[in-house]
Amino acid sequence: MKNKSDALRPTDAELSEIEGILGYVFQNKTLLRQAFTRRSYTVEYEAKTKRPAPVECNEVLETLGDAVLGAALLSILSRRYGKIAGRGYETDFGEGVFTEIKKNLCDKTALSRIIDGLKLGDGTPFAVLQAVSDGDRSSGNYNARSPKEDLFESILGAVALDCKFDFSVIVPLVERLDDPDRLTVTRAEKDEKTRLKELCEAKKWTLDYPGTDRSGPDHAPTYTVECTINGKKYGTGSGPSKKAAESEAAREALSRLKN
């Protein structure tokens, strides 16, 4: 008798529907199936059958997807908030801000939330379609935040391999899947953090955002951040992301310095 873990997920029909949701048709369908295959499945399958699993696990795809996601996000941000002019690339962002924004966009909570929003037509969430061990299926571990982040990155890694790292394919796919609001940074948010940073650099003050408190449920967290200058607290900010909380803290610090 077959074990539950012997059944391949997603099914062929589910793969076709996933392609429609992603807006990308795979040349190699096995890569897409691999993106949904966790190591717990392959280990359990091989232990029970003494045969190689029919599909590799998604760990390598996850690593590729992580790197591709970072590059795609920087491509999107650099295009939206800068331009190549006579003196080279010009942007409203201060030094290091691109890196900080990219880090926040790649946050585990943010990526798992994107996966939560991806469902088949019958309402089946993408996370449920993963091939996992019987134990993980019973415990529900596959539906935790970290595995869902892994799934997002694995899907992106699979797309990258299938399209031979064609960023004219990858970047639009990231824009389709991601929340448009997350990829939009207001000028006020950019200017306040940048202005505070540049002021502190000019005055040779030490600016820091030490520690981050997180509260609330996984699907709607609240981050609280303090802004310190030379070790003294000048502002406190809260928001749905670390970036938003830091922007609010910087705004309060600038107001206090002005007064």
Residue 60 to residues 57, 103, 153, 158, 233, Cα–Cα distance (Å): 8, 21, 10, 10, 43
Domain ranges of the chain: 4-182, 187-258
Q: Write out the CATH class of domain 4-182.
A: mainly alpha
The model carries a pTM of 0.70
Residue 45, token pair as written in the block: 């399958």
CA 138, 36, 63, 61 dihedral sign is: positive
Q: Write out the CATH class of domain 187-258.
A: alpha beta
pLDDT at residue 177, rounded to an integer: 86
pLDDT at residue 140, rounded to an integer: 87
Phi/psi for 30 (5° steps) reads -65, -35
Phi/psi for 236 (5° steps) reads -135, 135
pLDDT at residue 224, rounded to an integer: 93
The partner residues of 228 in beta bridges, in order of sequence, read 208, 233
pLDDT band at 220 (very low <50, low <70, confident <90, very high): confident
Measure the CA–CA gap between 200 and 125, rounded to whole angstroms: 47
pLDDT at residue 95, rounded to an integer: 55
Phi/psi for 231 (5° steps) reads 85, -5
* pLDDT per position as a tens digit, 173-196: 998 887 666 666 655 456 678 788
